[in-house]
Amino acid sequence: MIGVRAMASRTQMQEMALWPKVIAKAREQSATEAGISTNASFGSNFLGDCPVDAVMKFLEKEHELWDAAGIKVTAVSVGDPMGWCYPMKVEEIFDRVKEQ
């Protein structure tokens, strides 16, 4: 999510604006479970390091939208297309995901 403009020709806000449409389509198709995710979760060659708090805010917002639609979140994914990942940060993100 953090480097979305460079990766998908959309701003973060434009990408987030699509979330309700994705959820509406899932409801139309009678989905009962969903996964949430972020991309460039650790950092971006365009924007630098991505704080864990920022990753968590995106995941929390996505989770809230799925909850509001009555669709259970059963998976969490974090992407690292640019190789900014390191073990301590992976552990911190997933410790916080499990905690919440």
CB 28 within 8 A of CB 71: no
Q: Which sequence spans correspond to the domains of the chain?
A: 4-99
Beta pairing class for 72-78 and 48-49? unpaired
β-strands 48-49, 43-44 pairing: antiparallel
Residue 74, pLDDT score: 97
* CA distance linking residue 54 with residue 3, whole number of Å: 12
**CA–CA dist 50, 72 (Å, integer):** 27
In order along its 100 residues, the chain shows pLDDT tens digits of 444 445 567 777 888 899 999 999 999 999 999 999 998 899 988 889 999 999 999 999 999 999 999 999 999 999 999 999 999 999 999 999 999 9
Please report the pLDDT score of residue 1 as a whole number. Answer: 45
* Whole-angstrom Cα Rg for the chain: 14
Please state, in angstroms and rounded to a whole number, the distance separating the CA atoms of residues 9 and 3.
10
Q: What is the pLDDT of residue 7?
A: 52
Instruction: Say if pTM beats, i.e. exceeds, 0.75.
Output: yes
Position 70 scores a pLDDT of 97
Provide CATH code, domain 4-99.
3.30.420
